[in-house]
Chains A and B, each alone.
Chain A
Protein backbone atom coordinates (compact mmCIF):
# COMPACT_ATOMS: atom_id res chain seq x y z
CA UNK A 1 0.00 0.00 0.00
CA UNK A 2 1.21 3.48 -0.90
CA UNK A 3 2.06 5.62 2.14
CA UNK A 4 3.59 8.93 3.19
CA UNK A 5 5.80 9.20 6.28
CA UNK A 6 5.50 12.77 7.57
CA UNK A 7 8.33 12.43 10.10
CA UNK A 8 11.58 10.72 9.16
CA UNK A 9 15.08 11.90 10.08
CA UNK A 10 16.77 10.46 7.03
CA UNK A 11 19.95 12.47 7.59
CA UNK A 12 20.75 9.90 10.29
CA UNK A 13 19.76 6.84 8.23
CA UNK A 14 21.54 4.83 5.56
CA UNK A 15 20.60 4.72 1.90
CA UNK A 16 19.46 1.14 2.49
CA UNK A 17 16.68 2.59 4.66
CA UNK A 18 15.44 4.67 1.73
CA UNK A 19 15.40 1.42 -0.27
CA UNK A 20 13.42 -0.40 2.43
CA UNK A 21 10.91 2.44 2.64
CA UNK A 22 10.46 2.50 -1.14
CA UNK A 23 10.04 -1.27 -1.28
CA UNK A 24 7.32 -1.09 1.38
CA UNK A 25 5.29 1.59 -0.42
CA UNK A 26 6.69 4.94 0.73
CA UNK A 27 6.17 7.52 -2.01
CA UNK A 28 6.91 10.71 -0.07
CA UNK A 29 8.36 11.73 3.27
CA UNK A 30 8.95 14.91 5.18
CA UNK A 31 12.01 15.46 7.35
CA UNK A 32 11.88 17.91 10.26
CA UNK A 33 15.09 19.56 11.43
CA UNK A 34 16.16 18.05 14.76
CA UNK A 35 18.91 17.46 17.30
CA UNK A 36 21.97 15.56 16.08
CA UNK A 37 22.54 13.93 19.48
CA UNK A 38 25.09 16.63 20.35
CA UNK A 39 24.77 20.41 20.47
CA UNK A 40 25.95 22.47 17.52
CA UNK A 41 28.32 25.28 18.46
CA UNK A 42 27.31 27.93 15.91
CA UNK A 43 24.38 29.08 13.78
CA UNK A 44 26.57 28.26 10.76
CA UNK A 45 26.35 24.62 11.84
CA UNK A 46 22.57 24.83 11.54
CA UNK A 47 22.84 26.40 8.09
CA UNK A 48 24.99 23.50 6.91
CA UNK A 49 22.46 21.02 8.32
CA UNK A 50 19.57 22.89 6.67
CA UNK A 51 21.44 22.72 3.35
CA UNK A 52 21.74 18.95 3.79
CA UNK A 53 17.97 18.75 4.32
CA UNK A 54 17.13 21.01 1.38
CA UNK A 55 19.65 19.77 -1.18
CA UNK A 56 21.31 16.44 -0.37
CA UNK A 57 18.48 14.35 1.12
CA UNK A 58 16.01 15.06 -1.74
CA UNK A 59 18.58 13.72 -4.20
CA UNK A 60 19.16 10.59 -2.11
CA UNK A 61 15.41 9.99 -1.78
CA UNK A 62 14.79 10.58 -5.49
CA UNK A 63 17.06 7.64 -6.36
CA UNK A 64 14.35 5.43 -4.87
CA UNK A 65 11.37 7.30 -6.27
CA UNK A 66 10.58 8.98 -2.94
CA UNK A 67 9.65 12.66 -2.81
CA UNK A 68 11.54 14.41 0.00
CA UNK A 69 10.34 17.57 1.76
CA UNK A 70 11.65 19.25 4.87
CA UNK A 71 10.78 21.49 7.82
CA UNK A 72 13.28 23.94 9.24
CA UNK A 73 13.55 25.42 12.71
CA UNK A 74 15.43 25.43 15.99
CA UNK A 75 14.83 22.00 17.50
CA UNK A 76 13.59 21.71 21.12
CA UNK A 77 16.74 20.04 22.49
CA UNK A 78 18.93 23.01 21.56
CA UNK A 79 16.32 25.73 21.96
CA UNK A 80 17.33 26.47 25.56
CA UNK A 81 20.41 28.16 24.09
CA UNK A 82 18.95 31.60 23.47
CA UNK A 83 22.01 33.08 21.81
CA UNK A 84 22.16 30.51 19.01
CA UNK A 85 18.37 30.27 18.81
CA UNK A 86 18.05 33.98 18.09
CA UNK A 87 20.66 33.74 15.35
CA UNK A 88 19.06 30.66 13.78
CA UNK A 89 15.61 32.29 13.85
CA UNK A 90 17.00 35.43 12.21
CA UNK A 91 18.34 33.30 9.34
CA UNK A 92 15.25 31.10 8.91
CA UNK A 93 13.14 33.38 6.67
CA UNK A 94 15.69 33.31 3.85
CA UNK A 95 15.17 29.53 3.55
CA UNK A 96 11.37 29.50 3.61
CA UNK A 97 10.95 30.02 -0.14
CA UNK A 98 13.03 26.95 -0.98
CA UNK A 99 10.87 24.57 -3.09
CA UNK A 100 11.09 21.64 -0.66
CA UNK A 101 10.62 23.54 2.62
CA UNK A 102 7.04 22.98 3.78
CA UNK A 103 7.16 24.98 6.99
CA UNK A 104 8.62 25.43 10.46
CA UNK A 105 9.56 22.30 12.41
CA UNK A 106 10.18 20.45 14.45
CA UNK A 107 9.83 23.08 17.11
CA UNK A 108 8.54 22.81 20.65
CA UNK A 109 9.67 21.89 24.13
CA UNK A 110 12.08 19.35 25.60
CA UNK A 111 12.57 19.75 29.36
CA UNK A 112 10.08 22.63 29.41
CA UNK A 113 12.39 25.42 30.51
CA UNK A 114 11.69 29.13 30.44
CA UNK A 115 14.16 29.58 27.56
CA UNK A 116 12.62 26.74 25.55
CA UNK A 117 9.17 28.30 25.90
CA UNK A 118 10.51 31.67 24.74
CA UNK A 119 12.19 30.18 21.65
CA UNK A 120 9.13 28.09 20.84
CA UNK A 121 6.80 31.08 21.18
CA UNK A 122 9.02 33.13 18.87
CA UNK A 123 9.00 30.35 16.26
CA UNK A 124 5.22 30.02 16.39
CA UNK A 125 4.96 33.80 15.83
CA UNK A 126 7.45 33.57 12.96
CA UNK A 127 5.40 30.78 11.36
CA UNK A 128 2.25 32.89 11.64
CA UNK A 129 3.97 35.94 10.16
CA UNK A 130 5.24 33.96 7.19
CA UNK A 131 2.04 31.87 6.82
CA UNK A 132 3.91 28.59 7.25
CA UNK A 133 2.70 25.13 8.16
CA UNK A 134 4.03 24.03 11.56
CA UNK A 135 5.25 20.67 12.86
CA UNK A 136 5.56 20.55 16.65
CA UNK A 137 7.52 18.09 18.76
CA UNK A 138 6.04 17.32 22.17
CA UNK A 139 8.38 16.24 24.99
CA UNK A 140 9.32 12.74 26.05
CA UNK A 141 7.99 10.54 28.84
CA UNK A 142 7.24 12.33 32.12
CA UNK A 143 7.65 15.74 30.47
CA UNK A 144 5.05 15.12 27.76
CA UNK A 145 1.90 16.04 29.70
CA UNK A 146 3.01 19.45 31.00
CA UNK A 147 4.92 20.14 27.78
CA UNK A 148 1.87 19.48 25.63
CA UNK A 149 -0.30 21.63 27.88
CA UNK A 150 2.08 24.58 27.52
CA UNK A 151 2.49 23.87 23.79
CA UNK A 152 -1.27 24.18 23.41
CA UNK A 153 -1.44 27.36 25.52
CA UNK A 154 1.09 29.08 23.25
CA UNK A 155 -0.77 27.95 20.11
CA UNK A 156 -4.13 29.10 21.42
CA UNK A 157 -2.66 32.53 22.14
CA UNK A 158 -1.38 32.81 18.56
CA UNK A 159 -4.65 33.57 16.81
CA UNK A 160 -3.00 34.26 13.44
CA UNK A 161 -2.08 30.59 13.07
CA UNK A 162 -5.05 28.45 11.92
CA UNK A 163 -5.28 25.22 13.91
CA UNK A 164 -5.67 23.12 10.76
CA UNK A 165 -2.19 24.18 9.61
CA UNK A 166 -0.46 22.86 12.75
CA UNK A 167 0.59 19.26 13.42
CA UNK A 168 1.26 18.48 17.08
CA UNK A 169 3.42 15.37 16.94
CA UNK A 170 4.32 12.51 19.32
CA UNK A 171 0.79 12.46 20.76
CA UNK A 172 -0.07 9.68 23.20
CA UNK A 173 -3.16 8.53 25.08
CA UNK A 174 -2.98 11.31 27.67
CA UNK A 175 -2.38 14.16 25.20
CA UNK A 176 -4.27 13.33 22.01
CA UNK A 177 -7.62 14.66 23.20
CA UNK A 178 -6.34 18.15 24.04
CA UNK A 179 -4.76 18.35 20.57
CA UNK A 180 -7.77 17.18 18.57
CA UNK A 181 -10.40 19.08 20.53
CA UNK A 182 -8.89 22.42 19.49
CA UNK A 183 -8.80 21.49 15.79
CA UNK A 184 -5.07 20.72 15.48
CA UNK A 185 -3.66 17.66 13.72
CA UNK A 186 -2.25 14.95 15.98
CA UNK A 187 0.77 12.86 14.99
CA UNK A 188 1.33 9.35 16.33
CA UNK A 189 4.99 8.36 16.09
CA UNK A 190 5.72 4.65 16.17
CA UNK A 191 8.72 3.59 18.21
CA UNK A 192 9.92 0.20 19.45
CA UNK A 193 10.38 1.37 23.07
CA UNK A 194 8.96 4.82 23.73
CA UNK A 195 6.04 6.89 22.44
CA UNK A 196 3.48 4.70 20.62
CA UNK A 197 3.48 1.08 19.44
CA UNK A 198 1.55 0.04 16.34
CA UNK A 199 -1.20 -1.72 18.37
CA UNK A 200 -1.70 1.39 20.56
CA UNK A 201 -1.79 3.61 17.49
CA UNK A 202 -4.57 1.43 16.09
CA UNK A 203 -6.33 1.65 19.47
CA UNK A 204 -6.30 5.45 19.21
CA UNK A 205 -7.63 5.36 15.63
CA UNK A 206 -10.45 3.12 16.87
CA UNK A 207 -11.19 5.41 19.81
CA UNK A 208 -10.93 8.82 18.14
CA UNK A 209 -11.55 8.02 14.46
CA UNK A 210 -9.20 8.83 11.58
CA UNK A 211 -9.85 12.58 11.24
CA UNK A 212 -6.76 14.76 11.64
CA UNK A 213 -4.54 11.88 12.78
CA UNK A 214 -1.23 11.07 11.06
CA UNK A 215 1.16 8.21 11.74
CA UNK A 216 4.93 8.19 11.17
CA UNK A 217 8.02 6.17 11.99
CA UNK A 218 10.04 9.21 13.08
CA UNK A 219 13.16 7.15 12.47
CA UNK A 220 16.34 8.82 13.69
CA UNK A 221 19.74 7.86 15.09
CA UNK A 222 18.25 6.08 18.13
CA UNK A 223 16.16 2.90 18.42
CA UNK A 224 13.56 3.45 15.69
CA UNK A 225 12.26 1.89 12.50
CA UNK A 226 12.21 3.35 8.99
CA UNK A 227 9.46 0.89 8.07
CA UNK A 228 7.25 1.53 11.08
CA UNK A 229 4.35 2.75 8.93
CA UNK A 230 4.05 -0.50 6.92
CA UNK A 231 4.10 -2.33 10.25
CA UNK A 232 1.22 -0.10 11.36
CA UNK A 233 -0.58 -1.03 8.12
CA UNK A 234 -0.06 -4.71 8.98
CA UNK A 235 -1.48 -4.09 12.45
CA UNK A 236 -4.57 -2.40 10.99
CA UNK A 237 -5.07 -5.44 8.73
CA UNK A 238 -4.58 -7.75 11.71
CA UNK A 239 -7.56 -5.95 13.31
CA UNK A 240 -9.46 -6.48 10.05
CA UNK A 241 -9.89 -2.78 9.33
CA UNK A 242 -10.82 -1.92 5.76
CA UNK A 243 -8.23 -1.05 3.13
CA UNK A 244 -10.10 2.23 2.60
CA UNK A 245 -9.62 3.22 6.25
CA UNK A 246 -5.94 2.28 6.19
CA UNK A 247 -5.40 4.25 2.96
CA UNK A 248 -7.15 7.20 4.56
CA UNK A 249 -4.76 7.22 7.52
CA UNK A 250 -1.44 6.56 5.79
CA UNK A 251 -1.98 8.38 2.51
CA UNK A 252 -5.04 10.60 2.29
CA UNK A 253 -4.56 12.27 5.66
CA UNK A 254 -0.94 13.29 5.08
CA UNK A 255 -1.82 14.53 1.60
CA UNK A 256 -4.67 16.55 3.08
CA UNK A 257 -2.43 18.17 5.68
CA UNK A 258 0.69 18.66 3.57
CA UNK A 259 -1.18 19.93 0.49
CA UNK A 260 -1.92 23.09 2.43
CA UNK A 261 1.55 24.05 1.26
CA UNK A 262 1.46 24.76 -2.48
CA UNK A 263 4.96 23.30 -2.68
CA UNK A 264 3.76 19.80 -1.81
CA UNK A 265 3.23 17.87 -5.02
CA UNK A 266 1.04 14.95 -4.17
CA UNK A 267 2.13 11.56 -5.47
CA UNK A 268 -0.07 9.72 -7.98
CA UNK A 269 -3.35 8.73 -6.37
CA UNK A 270 -3.98 12.16 -4.93
CA UNK A 271 -7.34 12.46 -6.67
CA UNK A 272 -8.90 10.35 -3.93
CA UNK A 273 -7.13 12.24 -1.19
CA UNK A 274 -8.11 15.79 -2.02
CA UNK A 275 -11.77 14.84 -1.99
CA UNK A 276 -11.49 14.00 1.70
CA UNK A 277 -11.83 17.08 3.86
CA UNK A 278 -11.42 17.28 7.63
CA UNK A 279 -14.61 18.09 9.46
Chain B
Protein backbone atom coordinates (compact mmCIF):
# COMPACT_ATOMS: atom_id res chain seq x y z
CA UNK B 1 0.00 0.00 0.00
CA UNK B 2 3.04 2.28 0.19
CA UNK B 3 3.05 4.98 -2.48
CA UNK B 4 6.25 6.26 -4.03
CA UNK B 5 7.36 9.73 -2.91
CA UNK B 6 7.80 12.38 -5.59
CA UNK B 7 10.83 14.51 -4.73
CA UNK B 8 10.62 18.19 -5.54
CA UNK B 9 12.29 18.90 -8.89
CA UNK B 10 13.59 22.16 -7.39
CA UNK B 11 17.17 22.34 -6.13
CA UNK B 12 17.65 23.45 -2.50
CA UNK B 13 18.73 26.88 -3.69
CA UNK B 14 15.71 27.14 -5.97
CA UNK B 15 13.47 26.29 -3.01
CA UNK B 16 15.05 29.14 -1.05
CA UNK B 17 14.78 31.49 -4.03
CA UNK B 18 11.13 30.59 -4.50
CA UNK B 19 9.91 30.62 -0.90
CA UNK B 20 12.23 32.89 1.10
CA UNK B 21 10.36 36.19 0.73
CA UNK B 22 6.95 34.82 1.69
CA UNK B 23 8.44 32.86 4.61
CA UNK B 24 10.30 35.97 5.76
CA UNK B 25 6.98 37.78 5.73
CA UNK B 26 5.29 35.05 7.78
CA UNK B 27 7.88 35.06 10.54
CA UNK B 28 7.63 38.84 10.76
CA UNK B 29 3.86 38.45 11.10
CA UNK B 30 4.40 36.02 14.00
CA UNK B 31 6.76 38.49 15.67
CA UNK B 32 4.29 41.32 15.11
CA UNK B 33 1.51 39.30 16.75
CA UNK B 34 3.67 38.61 19.80
CA UNK B 35 4.76 42.27 20.01
CA UNK B 36 1.09 43.29 19.80
CA UNK B 37 0.31 41.02 22.73
CA UNK B 38 3.26 42.40 24.69
CA UNK B 39 1.95 45.92 24.24
CA UNK B 40 -1.47 44.79 25.42
CA UNK B 41 -0.30 42.65 28.34
CA UNK B 42 3.23 41.26 28.72
CA UNK B 43 1.90 38.55 31.02
CA UNK B 44 -0.46 37.03 28.45
CA UNK B 45 2.15 34.57 27.17
CA UNK B 46 2.22 32.85 30.55
CA UNK B 47 -1.55 32.90 30.99
CA UNK B 48 -3.28 32.05 27.72
CA UNK B 49 -2.96 28.38 26.70
CA UNK B 50 -3.02 29.27 23.00
CA UNK B 51 -0.14 31.74 23.28
CA UNK B 52 1.78 29.27 25.42
CA UNK B 53 1.30 26.70 22.65
CA UNK B 54 2.62 29.20 20.11
CA UNK B 55 5.77 29.75 22.19
CA UNK B 56 6.30 25.99 22.43
CA UNK B 57 5.75 25.70 18.67
CA UNK B 58 8.47 28.28 18.06
CA UNK B 59 10.87 26.17 20.10
CA UNK B 60 9.99 23.17 17.93
CA UNK B 61 10.65 25.18 14.78
CA UNK B 62 14.18 25.89 16.00
CA UNK B 63 14.83 22.39 17.33
CA UNK B 64 13.89 20.56 14.11
CA UNK B 65 12.71 16.97 14.05
CA UNK B 66 13.40 13.75 12.17
CA UNK B 67 9.64 13.36 11.62
CA UNK B 68 9.18 16.96 10.48
CA UNK B 69 8.54 20.24 12.26
CA UNK B 70 5.00 20.53 10.92
CA UNK B 71 3.99 17.13 12.27
CA UNK B 72 5.50 17.92 15.67
CA UNK B 73 3.67 21.22 15.88
CA UNK B 74 0.41 19.58 14.77
CA UNK B 75 0.83 17.06 17.60
CA UNK B 76 1.63 19.83 20.09
CA UNK B 77 -1.60 21.61 19.08
CA UNK B 78 -3.69 18.42 19.41
CA UNK B 79 -5.79 17.10 22.28
CA UNK B 80 -3.94 13.90 23.15
CA UNK B 81 -6.76 12.52 25.30
CA UNK B 82 -8.68 10.12 23.04
CA UNK B 83 -11.55 9.63 25.48
CA UNK B 84 -14.77 11.01 23.94
CA UNK B 85 -16.64 13.89 25.55
CA UNK B 86 -19.62 12.66 27.54
CA UNK B 87 -21.72 15.43 26.01
CA UNK B 88 -21.34 18.28 23.56
CA UNK B 89 -19.71 21.28 25.27
CA UNK B 90 -19.51 23.66 22.29
CA UNK B 91 -19.69 23.47 18.51
CA UNK B 92 -16.16 24.37 17.52
CA UNK B 93 -12.47 23.79 18.18
CA UNK B 94 -10.21 26.65 19.31
CA UNK B 95 -6.82 25.62 17.92
CA UNK B 96 -4.96 24.19 20.91
CA UNK B 97 -5.87 21.90 23.80
CA UNK B 98 -7.24 23.88 26.73
CA UNK B 99 -5.99 22.42 30.01
CA UNK B 100 -8.70 24.28 31.92
CA UNK B 101 -11.49 22.60 29.94
CA UNK B 102 -13.11 20.24 32.42
CA UNK B 103 -15.77 18.81 30.10
CA UNK B 104 -16.50 15.29 31.38
CA UNK B 105 -14.99 12.44 29.38
CA UNK B 106 -16.70 9.14 28.83
Contacts and interface: CB of A to CB of B under 8 A. Distances in A.
Query: Does B bind A?
Result: yes
B75 A241 contact: no
B3 A172 contact: no
A240 B9 contact: yes
B5 interface: yes
Give the size range of A's interface with the partner: 35 or more
Contacts of B84: 112-114, 116-117, 150
B6 A205 contact: yes
Interface string A140-168: 11111110011000000000000000000
A181 B1 contact: yes
A183 interface: yes
B35 to A, nearest CB: 21
Give the size range of B's interface with the partner: 35 or more
Contact of A239 (B8, B75, B94, B95): B8
B86 A113 contact: yes
Interface stretch (B40-48, B54-62, B66-74): B66-74
A238 interface: yes
A146 B79 contact: yes
A110 B91 CA distance: 8
Contact of A141 (B18, B68, B80, B93): B93
Contact of B79 (A143, A181, A210, A279): A143
A114 B78 contact: no
A174 to B, nearest CB: 4
A174 B75 contact: yes
Contacts of A240: 8-10
Contacts of B85: 111-114
A80 interface: yes
Shortest Cβ-Cβ A-B pairs, 8 listed: A209-B3, A211-B3, A145-B78, A174-B74, A141-B93, A240-B9, A140-B93, A80-B88
